[in-house]
Structure 1
């Protein structure tokens, strides 16, 4: 009951934005950027994250960071996090300056609910080389939740971090912060994980997902979240519950991409070629599928018809672009 109440509150208070089949949006979450010390879990995937962001920026995607971008429960001094990952924040600033960065807060960066904290830490930054302050993400307004609404079909995509209704990470987050900051933070250095976290606790993780699926069925909305670190892409017209996965897998990161009205789950992964050189490859894990397939407000026949039209239009558009490129050559 509490999860349903929290999700409904977040939905009713969500910021509404419009998208269409020309929109390009990438959803990533749970990077847990730390201070660069040995307990900073983001270090092992930082190069993957930077490479992926560069590709998305050049491809004109809007970057929606779906919570827990920073590990503020363990490292309360955001200045140390910024200094440890200047390349990441340089890219985030580029997205923000182009009005293509949307920040949603989760339970590990819940301080972003406080306007004073945001103004102090995110509005300006300090350049240690020039010894000058400069505008960073000035004016940013972190959100708890977002509703993306299609301009033509009115189909909605509800986006939030996913900790809502998870008691230790929602209403009792302060006590969780104390245990992380003064106990588990130091055990992380030796690879020990908190067994109460949904990341490692399978039964708890599945309980969260079941509660979210119930809300989706009742309210008939497609939902994208993070929090559990378990990527999810529904198959065969299952409940439209999507999960971005996370940015701290050992040798990969995952994301959800929305482009041409199609959604897909992708993985950026380190590979080794025949010469023994490392390189980064983007792989499609699920999809692409038309978003219309996940609109459970409409009858099955209507949804499948709209999805079929979308696939035909997309195929024709790609063929026309390919033919145009060949003519130019």
Structure 2
């Protein structure tokens, strides 16, 4: 199956979420939450991410995670990830209980496409202090893609991880996972990058982006937001409407996309120093806000 067919299949099977100009969404992807070991890229930014997510929860945003939230290639079991970042999952549970959490699986957490795996690992956890199991994300469903559909205009925003355009990391993801576990994870400590990852291979990144843009053109320039490459993208109106929310494993910062008041923005959260020498987590607007209707057909 070609990348174009994989993207079309993801779109046709996508979960549809209605929205309007009062809706507020925050889109993050590629958190790669790990076990807090030397290979856990998320660990460096976990405080930034947690602060940002708390902000969005208090502000009433809906959280959509566009794949690779959990690093299940380098790590064998979700339980180790949960123990390392328990506060994050407790916050995700708050979003979930408020019906403000929507999850997409990517190549590094592709096991979540299996409802049985999700049910067995994410429904509950054992709390040693109380000596019993406690609910976590009981009944949660992971999707390959999401379509946000405007209630009045009918305008659609297609959300996916983006690995559908990456034949190796989609079709042969089990081989990729095997190589990461036995080869690239040990080499990572020496600074040797995985050449099969588009986030670390610029030529492959460009090829992948071209495939996604080709699909967008063939499907009437539908707004598409993805992750996977870790490279933020924010096109101008009139350009091919391909957005990328970046990742949460940039050095000392995380990037994401906000949709609020019918507008879309690319944002960054990072640690800044005040004149008094106090460290603060701050939000920076990188691009936008731009009206979604400016990208209409």
TM normalised by structure 1 equals 0.88
User: Once the 2 structures are TM-superposed, how far is the Cα of residue 22 of structure 1 from its aligned partner?
Assistant: 0.6
Q: What does residue 278 of structure 2 align with?
A: 277
Q: What does residue 208 of structure 1 align with?
A: 208
Give a deviation string over 1:36-83, Cα, whole Å, max 9, x none.
111111100001100000000000000000000000011021000000
Q: What does residue 65 of structure 2 align with?
A: 65
Q: What does residue 225 of structure 1 align with?
A: 226
C-alpha distance in structure 2 between counterparts of 1:25 and 1:144, whole Å: 18
Q: Name whichever structure is richer in helix by fraction.
A: 1
C-alpha distance in structure 1 between counterparts of 2:86 and 2:196, whole Å: 32
C-alpha distance in structure 1 between counterparts of 2:199 and 2:9, whole Å: 25
C-alpha distance in structure 1 between counterparts of 2:205 and 2:285, whole Å: 24
C-alpha distance in structure 2 between counterparts of 1:173 and 1:97, whole Å: 32
Q: What does residue 43 of structure 1 align with?
A: 43
Q: What does residue 287 of structure 2 align with?
A: 286
Q: What does residue 160 of structure 1 align with?
A: 160
C-alpha distance in structure 2 between counterparts of 1:209 and 1:157, whole Å: 17
SS of structure 2 residue aligned to 1:93: helix
C-alpha distance in structure 1 between counterparts of 2:73 and 2:200, whole Å: 18
Q: How does 1:181-260 map to 2 (within 5 A)?
A: 181-220=181-220, 221-260=222-261
C-alpha distance in structure 2 between counterparts of 1:73 and 1:196, whole Å: 13
C-alpha distance in structure 1 between counterparts of 2:105 and 2:190, whole Å: 28
SS of structure 2 residue aligned to 1:170: helix
TM normalised by structure 2 equals 0.98
User: Once the 2 structures are TM-superposed, how far is the Cα of residue 125 of structure 1 from its aligned partner?
Assistant: 1.3
Q: Which has the larger radius of gyration?
A: 1
The question of whether the paired residues in 1 share the 8 Å contact of 2:16 and 2:148 is answered with yes
Q: How does 1:1-329 map to 2 (within 5 A)?
A: 2-220=2-220, 221-296=222-297
SS of structure 2 residue aligned to 1:224: strand
C-alpha distance in structure 2 between counterparts of 1:202 and 1:212, whole Å: 16
User: Once the 2 structures are TM-superposed, how far is the Cα of residue 196 of structure 1 from its aligned partner?
Assistant: 2.2
C-alpha distance in structure 1 between counterparts of 2:193 and 2:49, whole Å: 22
C-alpha distance in structure 1 between counterparts of 2:236 and 2:248, whole Å: 23
User: Once the 2 structures are TM-superposed, how far is the Cα of residue 236 of structure 1 from its aligned partner?
Assistant: 4.2
User: Once the 2 structures are TM-superposed, how far is the Cα of residue 165 of structure 1 from its aligned partner?
Assistant: 2.9
CA RMSD in angstroms, aligned pairs only: 1.0
Aligned residues: 296
SS of structure 2 residue aligned to 1:164: helix
User: Once the 2 structures are TM-superposed, how far is the Cα of residue 87 of structure 1 from its aligned partner?
Assistant: 1.1
For residues 248 and 236 of structure 1, do their structure 2 counterparts lie closer, same or farther at Cα, with a shift above 3 Å needed? same
SS of structure 1 residue aligned to 2:165: coil
Q: What does residue 307 of structure 1 align with?
A: none
SS of structure 1 residue aligned to 2:270: strand
SS of structure 2 residue aligned to 1:126: strand
Unaligned runs of 5+ in 2: none
Give a deviation string over 1:203-242, Cα, whole Å, max 9, x none.
1101111111111111021101100000000024211000
The question of whether the paired residues in 1 share the 8 Å contact of 2:237 and 2:294 is answered with no
C-alpha distance in structure 1 between counterparts of 2:39 and 2:269, whole Å: 23
Unaligned runs of 5+ in 1: 297-329
